[in-house]
């Protein structure tokens, strides 16, 4: 989706399972959407090529494509709890270019 109004119209009813296949990514999307920090939530988010196993729940997000990154950007743009957004090198899936994956994310934010 390229239009922020399209995200607004679908945001409340969209099923997170329809956005992301990875369990950790779905947890991150839910955290960003709820915009209500729980005690065990991290105030940072890493976008990177793999999920870290470092004991902090839902602290990293591995891009799956353009659709999930658009939604992630949208939810981050609405979120008031996230304090740090960090990027590490990642390889986009299915031969997509980094710019193709980041463009919907940036528009969403």
How confident is the model at residue 35, as a pLDDT? 86
How confident is the model at residue 12, as a pLDDT? 87
How confident is the model at residue 57, as a pLDDT? 57
Residue with tokens 């209500």: 36
Taking only the tens place, the pLDDT of each residue in 18-77 is 999 999 999 999 999 998 877 777 788 999 988 776 655 568 999 999 999 999 999 999
Domain boundary assignment for the chain:
4-108
How confident is the model at residue 49, as a pLDDT? 87
CB-based burial label for 109 (10 Å; 0-12, 13-18, 19+): middle
How confident is the model at residue 69, as a pLDDT? 95
How confident is the model at residue 103, as a pLDDT? 93
Of the candidates 40, 18, 6, the residue with the CA atom closest to the CA atom of residue 29: 18
Say how far apart CA 39 and CA 44 lie, in whole Å. 13
How confident is the model at residue 4, as a pLDDT? 81
Taking only the tens place, the pLDDT of each residue in 74-100 is 999 999 999 999 999 888 887 888 889
How confident is the model at residue 47, as a pLDDT? 93
């Amino acid at each position: 989706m390229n239009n922020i109004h399209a995200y607004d119209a679908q945001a409340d009813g969209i099923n997170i399972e329809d956005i992301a296949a990875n369990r950790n990514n779905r947890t991150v999307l839910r955290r960003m959407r709820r915009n209500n920090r729980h005690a065990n939530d991290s105030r940072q988010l890493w976008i990177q090529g793999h999920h870290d196993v470092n004991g902090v729940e839902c602290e990293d997000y591995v891009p799956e494509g353009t659709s999930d990154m658009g939604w992630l950007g949208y939810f981050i743009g609405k979120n008031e709890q996230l304090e740090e957004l960090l990027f590490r090198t990642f390889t986009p899936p299915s031969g997509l270019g980094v710019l193709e994956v980041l463009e919907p994310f940036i528009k969403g934010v």
